[in-house]
Amino acid sequence: MRAARPAALRGATPCEISKGEPVIELRPLSLAAANRAVSDWHSHHKPVVGHRFSVGAFAPDLVAAVIVGNPKAQALCDGVTFEVVRLVCSSAAPKNTATRLLGAAWRASKAMGVLRLVSYTRADETGHCYLAASWSAVATVKGRAWTSGNKTDRWLPGLYQPTTELIDRVRWEISR
């Protein structure tokens, strides 16, 4: 019988261990901890209100996080699609950490019966971590204000402040 890997090496592939790369351990993460990471490290988004699950990358402290939730686009709310709503990495995150988190998010989603996982990047971002995780760029979404209906003045008329700038986005998908 083979001996179990030490806790610090769980989640790392033999290639990563042999190359002397920092060992990354992926573990479930509470929404509060994931949102703290978003507040600290994300360049243009705020924390989220809810999620399906979150995963953190530890080396040995938290260096990156992914938050997976329900799709924001009504057309994608079919019961078998989840969305990566935040993906954040600190400057201390080892190479390929974001790609590993996307892979973990997809594996966890598939285990829950999800058929498709989607995410969005700004059009001016490369999306290399998505390509490395075998995702496909499937659409360009025009940037538009979130002003339909009464959203802009529902609670405090005249005090609406958009949280992100209007910019086109690329929708990425991975599916079974």
Which CATH number belongs to the domain containing residue 71 in this structure? 3.40.630.30
Confidence (pTM): 0.78
Position 4 in a domain:
no
**Nearest to 176, CA basis, from 106, 97, 102:** 106
Residue 157 has pLDDT above 70, yes or no: no
Position 14 in a domain:
no
Q: 5-10: long-range contacts (C-beta < 8 A, 24 or more apart)?
A: 8/60
Confidence at 142, pLDDT banded by 50, 70, 90:
confident
What's the rounded Cα separation, in Å, for the pair 95 and 89?
A: 10
Q: Which neighbouring-strand residues pair with 152?
A: none
Residue 158 or 54, more confident? 54
Range of the domain at 69: 20-175
- What one-character DSSP code corresponds to residue 46? P
pLDDT tens for 49-89 read 999 999 999 999 999 999 999 999 899 999 999 999 999 99
What pairing do the DSSP bridges indicate for beta strands 62-69 and 169-175? unpaired
Position 114 in a domain:
yes
**Nearest to 36, CA basis, from 60, 59, 71, 64:** 64
Total domain count for the chain? 1
pLDDT tens for 11-48 read 544 444 446 667 899 999 999 999 999 999 987 778 88
What's the rounded Cα separation, in Å, for the pair 60 and 65?
A: 13
